[in-house]
Amino acid sequence: MEQPTSAVGQQSARPTIVLPDDYQEFFTNSPELDRLGEMGEVRHYVRPSRDAEELLERLEEAEVLFCVRERTLLSAELLARLPELKLIALTGSACSHIDVEAATARGIPITTNPIMSVPAVAELAIGLMLAVLRRIPQRDRALRAGEWDQALGNELFGKTLGILGLGNIGRVVAHLGQAFGKRVLAWGPTLTSERAAEAGVRLVSMEELLRQADVVSLHLKVSPTTRGILGRQEIAWMKRSAILVNTARAELTDEQALAEALSAGHIAGAGLDVYLQEPLPATSPLLRLDNVVLSPHVGWITRETTHRFGEGTVQNIANWLRGAPTNVVNPAALRAR
């Protein structure tokens, strides 16, 4: 078994707190880790588990899990093998990697950090729009290769922006888009005209949005109703001059249909931060397309977001330890326990 990189506090009366997946060492030498060490014995792992058994070895004594985003899959089967586990504290807000029903039945509350990564993801969405329209990465590569590429690009200013999902991130993207003089349209499965008006945008049908928008930006959560919501037919509704930006989840799109549309020129370009398989495999057709700007799922990865994630997660753990849990997504677990 790999030894954890740190084990702060050895008093057995204190809870064992496990960080199983800090692969970029966001929390190494951080004040958040020091504060955790004041609460219990901290076991901090900075490389992926080799297999399921090694992961179980890391987790089996944990009373508290401090999980970075969605890296560690917590299935019902795995949870059943963690008899000591009493709290799952997530740095992010998504729970798609956890069997929430199983955790609830076992009396294990799950805490999240809502809106912590909103500024970072919204900024990257705007950055990808600019990068695709002005072909910034392609011009950089050409210049380094000795070429002087001055082909025409496109402006973001004054374009029609269509936002699918006007939640916390979508609202900030709408606000930033309006600073570029953009007309903003929005659609969401539960979005109302009142909420759209509060954000200064116009609620339209998804088809109207896709047909009118020059830039389509995805900010929906993945659910049974949104999975694959941007399929072959929906992509066909988009203008040939339009671009798509996805900083949400790849499961919202038909990735193969998107690659085909980009290759055939049915849409002009895309800026993508999320993929069905991560890391993106070398065989992905997206890597061969010159009208696509790719980033490796870094929408949330900034120093500021990481600091907020750490602070919020540690505070959730501290609140739970003193009997006043916060940001619990499955409150029924508290009653089950």
Query: Considering 69, 175, 195, 297, which one is annotated as catalytic?
Result: 297
Is position 141 annotated as part of the catalytic site?
A: no
CA terminus-to-terminus distance, the chain: 31
Q: What is the 3-state secondary structure (H, E, C) of 257-324?
A: HHHHHHHHCCCCEEEECCCCCCCCCCCCHHHHCCCEEECCCCCCCCHHHHHHHHHHHHHHHHHHHCCC
Tell me how many degrees the CA angle 290-292-295 measures, rounded to the nearest 5.
125
Catalytic residue list contains 278: yes
- Cβ neighbourhood burial of 225 (10 Å; 0-12, 13-18, 19+): exposed
Q: Is residue 142 packed enough to be buried (19+ CB in 10 Å), middle (13-18) or exposed (0-12)?
A: middle
Tell me, yes or no, if 139 is annotated catalytic: no
Q: What is the DSSP letter of 92?
A: S
140: helix, coil or strand? helix
Instruction: Name the catalytic one among 101, 198, 278, 304.
Output: 278
Q: With CA atoms as reference, report the closest residue to 333 among 108, 100, 111.
A: 108
- The CA angle 192-193-194, to the nearest 5 degrees, is 90
Q: How far, in Å, CA of 207 to CA of 211, rounded?
A: 6
Cα atoms in the Cβ-side hemisphere of radius 13 Å centred on 180: 20
Catalytic sites, residue numbers = 249, 278, 297
